[in-house]
Amino acid sequence: MRDPANSRADVETTVFQLTTGDVRAACDVLKPVFHLTNGVDGRVSIEVSPTLANDTEGTIASAKDLWKAVDRENLLIKIPATSEGGPAITATLAEGISVNVTLIFGLDRYKQVMESYVAGLEQARDNGHDLSTIHSVASFFVSRVDTEIDKRLKELGADRELFGRAGVANARPAYRAFEEFFAGPRWQALAEAGANRQRPLWASTGVKNPDYRDTMYVTDLVVPETVNTMPEKTMQAFADHGEVLGDQITTQYDDASTTMESLAVAGIDYDDVISVPETEGVDKFITSWNELLDTVRTQLEGAGGQS
């Protein structure tokens, strides 16, 4: 009988080889874009195992292993923005490794992520790394905030005018925080050493409620120095009938503030809302990861039975 422990190790090794191989190939495909944009775009992300979301040292070790295995300069290591993820982000960047910080839902957590980024760059500089080669994005999730708040608004019997407005209203002040953070003297010292600003990335931008505009998380979040990882369906919708109306964030800060105040008056506890999708997000990532392991295990067992 096959040792279950060895079986799991075989599966994880196979997944590691398959995923790093695929991502390496994707990095090669996008290399022309990477060079054309001086390293800003043309990047590919690979995530550490979501089972390590609350394990700082495990995340750091995994990030190093993935970076070494893929061995491409246009790679981003994806690390979740959990409490334990913060120190791991800093330590990974300190090694000269570019990072995609994922699962950011609230402003406080986003500010912590930016602090982790700058601390990592400061350590990277002290370690002798070329800061101009280190890039990062901070993935701020949008639609899941609307999903959670809409559910609560429905339970509260709130005014329908408040539905579907929280996601964008929550993201807009995040951009303000980005502008303010990357303008101070601490950042200027790093910028003079060649450091790149950590770009906000709008994630979860597929519209889940069919009653809403299917491109609203694209059109309503257009602003310079951001990334939008829209799913294919949303990309096709935007290509078909989307609009670029210019800067839809810095001109709408007051509206965003008014919306969030109205939600609070309606009975929405912002801090409680934000804690839910982070926990659920990690759980969903783990579920998907385990499904991947199960699929590979089945395939390996089938191949073994045929040999």
Which residues are catalytically annotated? Answer: 78
Q: Give every strand in the sheet of 75-80, ordered side by side.
A: 44-47, 75-80, 99-104, 136-141, 199-203, 227-228
- Give the 3-state secondary structure of residue 10: helix
Considering Cα of 174, then 176, then 179, then 183, what sign does the dihedral take?
negative
Q: How far is CA 151 from CA 53, 142, 161, 244, in A?
A: 27, 15, 14, 30
Which residue type sits at 232?
E
**SS3 of 106-174:** CHHHHHHHHHHHHHHHHHHHHCCCCHHHCCEEEEEECHHHHHHHHHHHHHHCCCHHHCCCHHHHHHHHH
Q: 55: which 2 tokens?
A: 């394990």
Q: 133: which 2 tokens?
A: 């080669």
Contact criterion met (CB below 8 Å) for 207 and 182? no
Residue 142 CA, chain-centre distance (Å), reads: 11
Which residue type sits at 132?
S
Q: How far is CA 94 from CA 88, 155, 252, in A?
A: 10, 46, 36
Q: 242: which 2 tokens?
A: 């989307």
What DSSP line would sit under 54-103, residue for residue?
Answer: T-HHHHHHHHHHHHHHH--TTEEEEEE-STTHHHHHHHHHHTT--EEEEE
